[in-house]
Amino acid sequence: MIRNFKRSAAIIGAVAASSVALVACSDSADDSANGGEAAAELPGGYALSGATGGLVAEGASSQQNAMDYFGAMYQEATGGDAYLEYNPTGSGSGRTNFVAGQVVFAGSDSPLEEDQVEAAAERCGGNDAWHLPFVIGPVAIAYNLEGVEESINLSTETLGKIFAGDITKWNDDAIASENEGVELPDTDISVVYRSDESGTSDNFQKFLSASTGDWEGEGTNFPTAVGEGANGSSGVATQVQQINGGITYVEHSHAADSGLGIANIDFGNGPTELNEESVGAALEAMEFTTEGNDMVVDSDALFASDAGYPLILTTYEIVCSGGYSEDEANLVKDFLMTALAYQDEGLSEAGHIPVTGGHYDRLVEAVEAINS
């Protein structure tokens, strides 16, 4: 289970009173508080620096559960001498306040805007800002279909036609041909979409466009011509729970928590189950529009890929590659290395897929390279 934690009133007061991202930092010679067993588990033999104080970050609410989990583990690893304050104000606000120097790093569903890149480099003392695809959230195609116990298989082409309203029955020939041996009912398909502006809607539409080639919608607002809307991830999951024949796109944790069916999607290599292995395969095959330790994901290539389960949201930690004070750099690296050490069941329970393999190694290399 995810461990909850409470900071002392004194710590909370110090953060609230502070107008800078870094509350108080100093080197600590107390290895027992910052090293020991937790430090030995960090990637590549990395040892916590001993920097203490508050690390203030801001941004995407989609990664709040992950940040809460990582923050708890970080505070525990430092014996309470260092901690994270993550404010889930949204990706746009996180990027803006990072560029303005109000937070040490930003969490964001999207990379910096073109007109922010130069300003970010200036904020980082003339050094590039790096995008680290750190928190991975797969999108599930979740459904409620009474009387069907088997997992439904759907090709990307069929999926596009369902959400466009071209396929309206669960026993349509297209669905039946992809689910031989499954007795599909003559039940109406009820599409449920996000009624609010949503990064999930934006990315799902990019996926439909890239994988089918003929999806016409785009942006954070989903087309309203087919189906009905519900607010937020929990809203669409709850709505589908109440409709026999309902289907939606939603972060997989909400689908699982709601007890909904999760479709296997055929991206081109046969039906693929959403699990850590299939998501890991998609991460291994990721391409980037940038080079080196700055890793802006090529979302068009990702969503058109047939490697593993590529219908995933990659949320960035946007950091300075250099230009931090020594204490800031140490705190950022300590926190991110601790987060990499806890790509585990606790993170899965927070609704995200742990990173492994080549992408994990890429992240470790990038974090190690952050400097003051």
Q: What domains does the chain contain, in order, with CATH numbers?
A: 9-128+321-369 (3.40.190.10), 138-278 (3.40.190.10)
* Three-state SS at 241: helix
Q: DSSP letters along 16-45, please?
A: HH--SSB--------HHHHSHHHHHTSGGG
Q: 152-182: b or e for each residue (b if 16 or more CB lie within 10 Å)?
A: bbbbbebbbbbbbeebebbebeebeebbeeb
CB 321 within 8 A of CB 129: yes
Nearest to 67 by CA among 363, 351, 359: 351
CB 39 within 8 A of CB 48: yes
Residue-level pLDDT at 219 = 86
Nearest to 50 by CA among 21, 79, 85: 79
Residue-level pLDDT at 34 = 38
Residue-level pLDDT at 199 = 78
Strand pairing class (153-155; 228-230): unpaired
Nearest to 15 by CA among 110, 78, 62, 85: 85
Q: Kindly state the tokens that stand for 326.
A: 């020594």
Q: Kindly state the tokens that stand for 185.
A: 């009912």
Q: DSSP letters along 65-86, please?
A: HHHHHHHHHHHHHTTTSEEEEE
Give CA–CA dist 343/335, Å, rounded: 13
Mean pLDDT by 10 residues, the chain (372 residues): 29 32 39 38 91 95 91 96 94 94 94 94 97 94 96 97 97 98 97 89 93 90 95 92 97 88 97 94 94 95 95 95 96 97 92 90 97 86
Strand pairing class (246-251; 129-144): antiparallel
